[in-house]
Amino acid sequence: MSELIFKPVISIYGGDIGGTTIGPAIDSLGFETVDFLFMTSNPIAHSGGGTFTLSLKESDTTNVNANMDAVSASNIIGTLPTGIVIDSNSDNTIYKFGYRGHRRYLRLTVTLAGVIDFFHPFGIALLSNPKKFPYE
């Protein structure tokens, strides 16, 4: 049986979110690559005009609540979703982007704008390219 070569970590807990939702800190110690998957749900009611934007922050310290910096565009692999209209075109969609920086802690934030009913996204970070295998 082969070992997994990546470690999945929740970056945004699923559920009906509103306003700004800050995900848990992700400790990338021991891994060289972090890819993110952000999945949208099918809202029960589209109120129109609602959007979401994702932001990614990074830090070198364990006190991630106070000392996180926005990740520069040069350290984002792919496109960080911003201003995505929540409608039938964005239902049940998976957005993928990665991080190529060298800071230890990461945190994903979802910011909603407008009126949105029953929006239940979910995010996963995939830590890969372990520096030591098998990883702990």
What residue segments make up the domains of the chain, in order of their start? 14-129
Among candidates 57, 51, 76, which has minimal Cα distance to 11? 57
CB of 115 closer than 8 Å to CB of 52: no
Give Dmax over CA atoms of the chain in angstroms: 49
75: three-class secondary structure by DSSP: helix
Percentage of the chain modeled with pLDDT above 70: 79
What is the third-level CATH fold of 14-129? Jelly Rolls (2.60.120)
Residue 63 is predicted with a pLDDT of: 66
Cα–Cα distances (Å) from 31 to 6, 28, 37, 129, in that order, read: 9, 6, 17, 6
- Is the pTM above the cut of 0.75? yes
Q: Name all contacts of 82-90 with Cβ < 8 Å and 24+ positions apart.
A: 82/53, 82/54, 83/51, 83/53, 84/51, 84/52, 84/53, 85/49, 85/50, 85/51, 86/40, 86/43, 86/46, 86/50, 86/51, 86/52, 86/112, 86/114, 86/116, 86/119, 87/46, 87/48, 88/46, 90/40
What average pLDDT does range 75-84 have in this prediction?
90
What average pLDDT does range 72-80 have in this prediction?
94
- 2, pLDDT greater than 60: no
What average pLDDT does range 19-36 have in this prediction?
91
Tokens for 99? 């991080």
